Amino acid sequence: MSGNDKGSPGTPRDPYFDNVKFLAVVLVACGHAWEPLVDGSRAVAAAYETVYAFHMPLFVLVSGYFSRGQDGSPRRARGLITGLAVPYLVFETAYTLFGRHAGDNASPFSLLDPWGVTWFLLALFVWRLSVPLWTALRHPLPVALAVAALATATPGIGNDLELQRVLQLLPFFVLGLTCAPEPLRLLRRREARILAAPVLLAAPVAAYLLGPHTDRRWLYRSTAAQEIGYSGTTGLLAVPVLFCCSLLLAAAFLAWVPGRRLWWTVLGTGTLYGYLLHAFATQGVRYGGWYEPAWLSTPAGPVAVTLAAAAGMALLCSPPVRRALRWAVEPRLAPLFRPAGSVPSRAPRSVESRGLAPMPARAPFTVVGCTTAGCTSPAGHRPPGGHDEEPQRR
């Protein structure tokens, strides 16, 4: 999710990725809006669990795909600060004050305990810092899966910095980071849509039938297996199973996202705004008792809630909202940084000054076949950002 996606000069944006981001963030809003209705309707619970099975992994995967240009350069470091760290501080403070004023929650302010949706900014900050590590490994995905499995079986990790969720979702980030563009192009073909249709139709049916016999806390990926009543061995085995299921649903979803420019494509450039702001609305209506009317328990209730969530998200992603709140989501902090190219560096001492004999001259070496094309984000997009996937806390 990015609030200010600018393509390179002369390079047109690919509307497909804007469509992906907007539809995915609408699913986030719907999931949060459905939470108060889940216990009263098995159908709503099935829809909720279907969405939660893949929409967070999808966002993390897409975030990894657009993080391939993270090379540790000063420009990228500035982006981490202005695009993730500062918005995290702003919205963590804002949501803490909002919870104290609008709700009955007086929990202390803590940067180590993210409030609701802000956890994703913190997680993405950590994942992007780790990019050089994953790009240096020969087989990064198996390593990331092993890390996630060990985290799932280790209750001692705790909840500080949402580290459990950061580690359990790590494989999706690494997969996106190391994924070539070709698989995404294949998903946009007609054959892929035909194969994806049964998957999308079967998922809610399976959730409806299996929901009463499963624990949806597995889908939040925020606790160890032992903390929800399972053994560590079960946690180790659950990670690859959940990874494959989530990846299958995410691929099926991507196959059905339109690739052409539509009236709502422009809203995909403002999904970070919608994501960070929508929890004020979803939490506000809960604090205000808007879910208490009896008609919300009828079939019309979930439909109305879904339409309201989608419309609200469209409004929050709109250009007027982006212009009004750019100072908070995409702050301009140029005075805090050195001008480009002015970072001081210490000149290396000559071998003579260190008392060493000079090396004999040798022919310059060339790296054959080396290219940076696979380490840059696709033209026209900044890395996308994300959302709170566990029922909102505090």
pLDDT for position 268? 94
Model confidence at 14, pLDDT cuts 50, 70, 90, reads: confident
pLDDT for position 335? 75
**180 vs 144, more confident:** 144
Please determine, for residue 115, whether its predicted confidence score (pLDDT) is greater than 90.
Answer: no
Q: Hey, what amino acid is at 30?
A: C
Model confidence at 161, pLDDT cuts 50, 70, 90, reads: confident
Q: What is the mean pLDDT of the chain?
A: 84
Convert the pLDDT of each residue in 331-378 to its tens digit: 988 777 777 666 555 545 544 444 544 444 443 333 333 333 344 444
pLDDT > 70 in the chain, percent: 81
Convert the pLDDT of each residue in 70-111 to its tens digit: 877 777 888 899 999 999 999 999 998 888 887 666 667 888
pLDDT for position 230? 94
Convert the pLDDT of each residue in 235-264 to its tens digit: 999 999 999 999 999 999 999 999 999 999
pLDDT for position 53? 96
Model confidence at 387, pLDDT cuts 50, 70, 90, reads: very low
pLDDT > 90 in the chain, percent: 65
pLDDT for position 113? 86
* Mean per-residue pLDDT, 217-230: 93
Domain boundaries, the chain: 15-340+370-375
Closest to 34 (Cα-Cα) out of 310, 247, 243, 274: 310
Please determine, for residue 196, whether its predicted confidence score (pLDDT) is greater than 50.
Answer: yes
- Give the whole-angstrom CA distance, residue 13 versus residue 111: 36
pLDDT for position 104? 60
* Mean per-residue pLDDT, 130-140: 94
pLDDT for position 34? 96
